[in-house]
Amino acid sequence: MLLVDQSRQGLIDYTCAQAAHLIPDGRDEPLRSHIGAHIDDALARVGVCIDEVRWWRRNEFNYLHSSQYCIYLYYLANSIWKATGDAKACTRLFLLNKALNGIDLFYEIEMPKVFFIGHSVGIVLAKATYGEKLVLYQNATVGKNHGVAPVIGERVVLFPNTAVIGRCKVGAGTVVSQGTSVVNRDTPGDCLAYPGEAGNLVFKPVKQDPIADIFR
């Protein structure tokens, strides 16, 4: 994959410098070693996402593209975590992503092979089950309720200011409209979910599938 205006070593140095600036405790050498060992795996995973998004050039990663860089930091931390279990190094990358992009995406979470972040600010994701081709916009929240996390199917869109909380099974193809909360509820799939009267959810067929506009 082409690194736009950057080299592999330059990207390692850039990432390490950011982490060291954010957490200046002088303990950045283990992180540098881990990044050098696992950056290729992380970039390969990022490349799968990039190649599926219509709005992004195939086989190109731009470290100055905030959404791409946000996804890169998650995959980098997750790859390091799976390979080494070094929580301290992975936490540095988690905190860096949180500081730069305003996202709470823990390195232990299993994200899909393909997902898209429109705007990362305010996104909070719990350790839930996430299906492929997930779409996330700003202030989307996925959270637990009494220790129970949602199960989110494939091709789900969470528009801005949405929440999916607790014992939920969000069916494949569900579009959660802006400002809608799904709490301890299931959705039938292939539907638009929006608020009804007395806090009830209303489901209607999706007239235009937003997934088709985002993914190839």
One domain for residues 13 and 61: yes
What are the φ and ψ backbone dihedral angles of 45, each rounded to 5 degrees?
-70, -40
Which H or E run contains 125? Answer: strand 124-125
One domain for residues 11 and 93: yes
The domain of 46 spans: 2-102
Q: How far apart, in Å, are the Cα atoms of 127 and each of 51, 107, 115, 146, 210? A: 26, 10, 16, 13, 25
One domain for residues 97 and 8: yes
> What does the pLDDT read at residue 207?
87
pTM exceeds 0.85: yes
pLDDT tens, residue by residue, 165-185: 999 999 999 999 999 999 999
- Examine residue 150 and state whether it is found in any structural domain, yes or no: yes
Q: Which one, of 139, 117, 137, lies nearest residue 65 by Cα?
A: 117
One domain for residues 184 and 93: no
pLDDT tens, residue by residue, 75-91: 999 999 999 999 999 99
**pLDDT confidence tier of residue 52, bands split at 50, 70 and 90:** very high
- Examine residue 134 and state whether it is found in any structural domain, yes or no: yes
